[in-house]
């Protein structure tokens, strides 16, 4: 049985309704925000289960990268938005996300790891092959550095810009400069 997006959302809403009382309006607002890909700002007195409803709703959503942060005075831009990848500033450096996404480089890396395991088992004929493979990988990495050098890059994996669903709790407790970007 193939459920439509509407059916899935209605089922999720019913699951959350079954776990919390008198929060129908909040549940509907969250569903509308998710379906329309819009932001929602929820303000209310403490103890009204706002965070609980949001977390219950988010728990049933699969295949979505989620970011959650309890805001405080210590939460700075790096915690929310990511940090500068220093390897992107070093001449000849290649950002790790570029290397992770490059299939050719990853294939060479897997082959090198397999060859090293064979070499450590006592297969001494592999020494020359390991040296050639290492040289080839280094040449390829240098070529990648030429393509991607001089571009300051931010590491945003697992941070707010990389996420589909973001939950910032207690935003009024954040430092004044956090959102002054």
Q: Hunting for tokens 């500033």 — which residue is that?
A: 89
Percent of the chain with pLDDT over 90: 7
Quickly state the pLDDT bin for 178 (edges 50, 70, 90).
low
Quickly state the pLDDT bin for 65 (edges 50, 70, 90).
confident
Alpha helices in the chain (DSSP H): 5-17, 24-36, 50-59, 77-81, 96-101, 103-120, 127-148
Instruction: Quote the CA–CA distance of 17 and 177 in Å, as a whole number.
Output: 37
Tens digit of each residue's pLDDT (9 = 90 or more) over 97-138: 788 888 999 998 998 888 877 766 665 566 677 788 888 988
> Average of pLDDT values for 140-155?
81
- This prediction has a pTM of 0.63
Tens digit of each residue's pLDDT (9 = 90 or more) over 38-64: 988 888 888 888 888 888 888 888 788
Tens digit of each residue's pLDDT (9 = 90 or more) over 131-141: 888 889 889 88
* CB-CB contact of 149 with 93 (8 Å): yes
Residue 85: count of CB within 10 angstroms of its CB: 20
* CB-CB contact of 124 with 130 (8 Å): no
Instruction: Quote the CA–CA distance of 89 and 145 in Å, as a whole number.
Output: 11
Instruction: Quote the CA–CA distance of 144 and 147 in Å, as a whole number.
Output: 5
Instruction: Quote the CA–CA distance of 12 and 20 in Å, as a whole number.
Output: 13
Instruction: Quote the CA–CA distance of 6 and 125 in Å, as a whole number.
Output: 61
Q: What's residue 180's pLDDT?
A: 56
- Determine if residue 133 is left, alpha or beta; phi over 0 gives left, psi from -120 to 50 gives alpha, anything else beta: alpha
Chain centre distance of CA 108: 26
- Determine if residue 82 is left, alpha or beta; phi over 0 gives left, psi from -120 to 50 gives alpha, anything else beta: left
């Amino acid at each position: 049985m193939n459920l439509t997006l509407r059916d899935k959302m209605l089922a999720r809403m019913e699951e959350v309704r079954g776990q919390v009382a008198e929060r129908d309006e909040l549940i509907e607002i969250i569903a509308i925000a998710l379906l329309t890909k819009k932001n929602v700002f929820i303000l209310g007195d403490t103890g009204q289960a706002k965070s609980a409803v949001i977390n219950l709703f988010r728990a049933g959503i699969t295949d979505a990268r989620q970011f959650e942060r309890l805001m405080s005075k210590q939460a700075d831009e790096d915690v929310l938005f990511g940090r500068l990848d220093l390897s992107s500033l070093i001449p000849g450096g290649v950002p790790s996300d570029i290397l992770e996404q490059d299939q050719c480089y990853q294939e060479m890396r897997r082959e090198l790891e397999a060859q090293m395991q064979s070499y450590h088992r006592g297969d001494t004929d592999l020494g020359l092959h390991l040296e050639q493979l290492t040289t080839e990988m280094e040449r390829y990495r240098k070529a990648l550095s030429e393509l991607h050098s001089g571009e300051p890059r931010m590491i945003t994996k697992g941070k707010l810009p990389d996420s589909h669903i973001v939950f910032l709790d207690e935003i009024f407790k954040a430092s004044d400069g956090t959102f002054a970007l």
